[in-house]
Amino acid sequence: MSASTETLFRPIRIGSLDLPNRIVMAPMTRSFAPGGVPGPANAEYYRRRAEGGVGLILSEGTVVNRPASRNDPGIPFFHGEAALAGWKGVIDGVHAAGGRMGPQLWHTGAVKSFLTAWEPDVPVESPSGLDAPGVARGVAMSEEAIADTVAAFAKAAADAKRLGFDTIELHGAHGYLIDQFFWAGTNLRDDRYGGATLRERSRLAAEIVSAVRAAVGPDFPIILRVSQWKQQDYAVRLAETPDLMTDWLAPLVEAGVDILHCSQRRFWEPEFPEIDGETGLNFAGWAKKLTGARTISVGSVGLSGDFMAAFGGENSVSVGLGGLIERMERDEFDLIAVGRALITEPQWVAKVRAGESAGLRGFDAKALAELV
């Protein structure tokens, strides 16, 4: 291990979670679970990344028990006997390889898949029946539907702990259901789940976190993925200032979040350059500073180009890790999530640790189906 990468391989403990290094496998939807049930191929996919030395694996988005919680038929469930048995096989394989893992618990809300024209059998649900500002799709959720959704997340988290997972992540980013409640453009409600402020619109997320905390106990780590940008609009910013970011994130940490997974399209971009300059703190850095929570940064690590462009057909090549190392050395954030680079290179972590990063491959979305 070279001195330059040593900071990536420091152990860390968060609640009951012991990690041997600071590298996280980011959740990446591949839609490879026919009928919503993960099978041996899924288990093999995650086992190989555990064997490669990833500190923490976060699963692809896996949906909670709501009638229209997914937007693609290949997305796995995290409910039902068959799906949970499949996930048991996944976590057992990861543990046998010495890894740690958590499922990402998800509800896609009103968002359409960009991979398929598939539609669920019942109307999709969202805060106000909108996919994006001014774009109607599906139905607005009743308070009963909201209560059932909160319960579904809590049940999935409890099942994850029962199956032996080491943590869970709640998907509250990228314009999906929880994020649609955050976003003023898609949350037009005039009840207690809406409001003029970001703090008010965060009520659903806070209730989900509180319910999950009650379901898993005090020491089981809860991760919440958040983002400023939405796939419906890359330029959206929920919090334009540090004070607004505190109003948004601090109540969620108080509700029980241990780790904020702060999604950016490019991790090296400063969140508030008008305050600390072009090399200032990124999203995860500001979130850690403002809330005191542990944070994960993510966004095109080890590759040129962001992931949305890659899945649009733009190839990415491997790039150096110098900027990441500098930020990790000053503890700007606690963990770094790696996505596409780990799809292409299951041994990415081992190669970086061995100083073989010059030989790492780029990413070609066209080859995705061939990668295990």
| Tokens matching residue 301 | 């690590």
In contact, 37 and 79? CB cutoff 8 Å: no
pLDDT tens digits for 207-250? 999 999 999 999 999 999 999 999 999 999 999 999 999 999 99
The residues, any chain, with a CB within 8 Å of residue 141's CB and separated by 6 or more, are 125, 126, 127, 149
Q: How far apart are CA 110 and CA 202, in angstroms?
A: 18
pLDDT digits (tens, 9 = 90+) for 9-51: 999 999 999 999 999 999 988 888 889 999 999 999 999 999 9
How much is the average pLDDT of 194-203? 97
Specify the pLDDT at position 114: 82
- What's the pLDDT at 211? 98
Q: What φ, ψ does residue 166 adopt, rounded to 5°?
A: -95, -15
pLDDT digits (tens, 9 = 90+) for 94-147: 999 999 999 999 999 999 998 888 999 999 999 999 999 999 999 999 999 999
Tokens of 47: 């086992």
Residue 367 has pLDDT above 60, yes or no: no
DSSP strands (E only) in 64-205? 101-106, 125-126, 130-132, 135-136, 139-140, 168-171
Q: What is the pLDDT of residue 370?
A: 45
User: What is the mean pLDDT of the segment spanning 264-287?
Assistant: 96
Q: How far apart are CA 37 and CA 39, in angstroms?
A: 6
Which helix (H) or strand (E) element contains residue 51?
A: helix 40-51
pLDDT of residue 311: 47
pLDDT at 310 over 50: no
Most confident of 218-232, 334-348, 353-367: 218-232
Percent of the chain with pLDDT over 70: 90
Tell me which of 45, 46, 176, 193 is the catalytic residue.
Answer: 176
In the chain, what are the domains? 21-298 (3.20.20.70)
User: Does 46 qualify as catalytic in the annotation?
Assistant: no
